[in-house]
Structure 1
Amino acid sequence: MKKRDIILTTISIVALGLFLIYANSNFNPYQIRILNLCAIYVVLGLSMNLINGFTGLFSLGHAGFMAVGAYTTALLTMSETAKQRTFFLEPMISPLDKITLPFFVALLIGGLLAAFVALLIGAPTLRLKGDYLAIATLGFSEIIRIIFTNTQNITNGALGLKSIPNTTNLWWTYGTMVVTIMVMAALINSSFGKAFKAIREDEIAAESMGINLFKHKVMSFAIGAFFAGIGGGLLGNLLGAINPAMFRFVLTFNILLIIVLGGMGSITGTVISAFVVTSGLEYLRILDESINLGFIQIQGITGLRMVVFSALLMIVVIFFRNGLMGTNEFSWDKLFNLLKRRPFSKKGVGQ
């Protein structure tokens, strides 16, 4: 990386930090919640894009990995008193009922446990391709959710967990987002990233070049699951309460929507799309409520928000078939080249 690019990137990170200081002081809790969700969905989108976009694996098991991370982080950060108050139907197993760890340690363990589960799932499923892999990973995700629903003395079953410490804030979410972007960019630009892309383009050609397909697929799957677990942990400690019903297929679909809209195989597109989708859905809530224009009052229609949002998505997909960014990435060189462009001179081409 050029010295100029390092300086500009550092300035951008400092500017982000200043913005977070301003937001913490001047934004209301609702606005801060939206900002937190945007950053969390960037982490989740990048983790899924690594598997689906860069490696070309059609996986639909992300909600399951998020559940592992969310439950692990929540259980390890809850106080002993909170656990006793939450597990009133059946006592929590020992020694988990007495363990309370710092948030960072619990978050890391949640990510590692999600990666371990991905290794267990990946061994039998990653030899499948296409729709078969999607169905298999979706099935395992549902199995994880059902297990969490029926393990009363570990996850509190269908009642879920409450009194989870609200540790997640703007610094945690945006700090994790920046680290995730940096790790993903370094990984994609490494020899492993080139192997992932080769597998995506043509598995037979990649294998003939000496790339171990199964090894690299499992690696991509586990790394993506790790960051999905991290995102799930951040989400659980942001909301303060979780239950198995949160981690249905719809959650995976929302993340898939982000990476398709931004561009399969684009880190920049995922970041932009995560902010657009998350904030856009909230700003369109006005369509579900009554609008008073002073001289006339327009009655809101329940569900109109999703209709308009879906129509906008259809327009974007029609005109940007590869997503907003395709496989392109942001770079300072591209930005400066764009700014240096000048319109044609008045003399015309033939003069």
Structure 2
Amino acid sequence: MTRRRSATGLLALAALLGVGAALVYAAQATLSSYVVTLLALMFLNIALAVSLTVTNGFAGLFSLGHPAFMTIGGYIAAVLTYPPARKDFMLPDLPAVLLTNQIPLLPALLAGGIIAAILAFLVGLPVLRLKGHYLAVATLGLIVIVQGLATNWSGLTRGGSGLNGIPRLTDIWWCFGFAALAIYVALRLKFSSLGRAMMATRENAMAAELSGVSTYRVRMLAFVIGAFFAAVAGGLMVHLITVVTPKTYSVVLAFNLIAMVVIGGSGSVFGAVLAAIALTGISEAARPLEESLNLYGLSQVIVALALILVLFFRPNGIMGGAEPRLLRRLF
């Protein structure tokens, strides 16, 4: 019975993935390049919101560090895939092995994700032993530190001028595949014993400890997983917009991602997906209005108002931490 249910779940999951791939193919064939790029960015926002749900929603960690990890992953992926002919004068301080070599996108993304995960582990060693909102302050400081290093380490990053001319190696299929992977990993984790341990830690750390859960370890794992996916998303985004600067991923992005998680419902993967789609669409729809009325920042005001309204009328978010019945059956 269990094997039959597992096989049925896999078939249903493959069918959902096939439908999504068909919709992406249709969009790429019929829509303008601008809209296709916007859809690719929406998929990346979905992956980012889902990965932050693992850190903030499952384990209850108030992390603001996604932009810092995205910056790390973005710069590493950009440097590793940058054409050697341009590295000599654009990035003169690179080690010789990096100056003369250009590696494919996938290993470059993995390298950025692994380095960001290691950094998250090192940051988490002292911070995750503390209580309260120390993690939020530490990760906010991490954004400032990473941006400062990227600005001043000009021989490796071109400083405040940023790195342009990056090969456009990312397309909508990369972004769709990465979003699907992030959703799959998050859902598998949520309905596993490890995911239940994370959520038990979020609800009551002392009770979880008394039940035999190592709350420090599960928090660390959630923090590292979120950092890895954020860094890979940063690398994909850099190769989509073909430029990266120290301010590309800022505190504003951290606020938007937190808003997606809270509006969708803390701990709900499906809610994070819905919120990412909605807020990405709202931000893009507000852009022409900002330019015509010279009201720059209007989209951020709209996002903030949406967050306030959701917190007032539905404090637990759209999904309230739950998943649709279909997803619960599949996973």
- Structure 1-normalised TM-score? 0.86
Letter of the 1:96 counterpart: L
Give the residue type in structure 2 aligned to 1:92. Answer: L
CA offset at residue 301 of structure 1? 5.4
Q: In the alignment, which of 63, 67, 71 is matched to residue 75 of structure 2?
A: 71
Q: Which runs of 4+ in 1 moved over 6 A?
A: none
Gaps (5+ residues) in structure 1? 291-299, 336-351
Shift of 1:274: 0.6
Q: Deviations over 1:11-56 (max 9, x none)?
A: 2211111111111121112101110111101111111111111101
Are 1:216 and 2:210 an aligned pair?
no
Q: Which amino acid aligns with 1:93?
A: P
How far has the Cα of 1:253 moved from its partner?
Answer: 1.2
Cα distance, 1:309 vs structure 2 = 4.8
CA distance in 1, matches of 2:142, 2:301: 31
1:247-301, Cα deviation, whole Å (9 max, x unpaired): 32112111111111111100000111111100121123343355xxxxxxxxx45
- Using the TM superposition, give the Cα deviation of residue 320 of structure 1 relative to its aligned residue in structure 2, in angstroms: 2.0
Letter of the aligned partner of 1:147 in structure 2?
L
- Report the counterpart of residue 104 of structure 2 in structure 1: 102
Q: 5 Å matches for 1:195-234?
A: 195-234=197-236
Post-superposition offset of 1:69: 0.8
The more displaced of 315-324 and 64-73 is 315-324
Q: For 1:301 and 1:80, locate their aligned partners in 2 and report how far apart those are by CA, in whole Å.
A: 41
Shift in CA distance, 306/192, structure 1 to aligned 2, threshold 3 Å: closer
Question: Match for 1:302: what amino acid?
Answer: L
**Residues in 2 aligned to 1:169 and 1:82: alpha-carbon distance in whole angstroms:** 23
Flag the structure with larger Rg: 1
Of residues 177, 185, 209, the one that matches 2:187 is 185
Residue of structure 2 equivalent to 1:338: none
Counterpart of 1:321, as a letter, is P
Indicate the structure with greater helix content.
2
The root-mean-square deviation of aligned C-alpha atoms, in Å, is 2.0
Distance change in 2, residues 1:152/1:233 (3 Å)? same
Aligned pair partner of 1:322 in 310, 316, 321: 316
**The residue matched to 2:226 in structure 1 has which SS?**
helix
Q: Which runs of 5+ in 2 are unaligned?
A: none
Note if contact 1:119-1:222 (Cα within 8 Å) is conserved in structure 2.
yes
* Percent of aligned positions that are identical: 36
Partner of 1:274: 276
8 Å Cα contact 1:167/1:238 also seen in 2: yes
Q: Report the secondary structure of 2:163's partner residue.
A: coil
> Is the Cα contact below 8 Å between 2:128 and 2:216 reproduced in 1?
yes
State the Cα distance separating 1:4 from its structure 2 match: 4.3
The C-alpha deviation readout for 1:57-95, integer Å capped at 9, x for no partner, is 1111111111111111111111102323533xx543322
Tell me what 1:42 maps to. Answer: 46
Q: 1:295: which partner in 2?
A: none
| More contact order relative to length (CA 8 Å, sep ≥ 6) | 2
SS in 1 for 2:319: coil
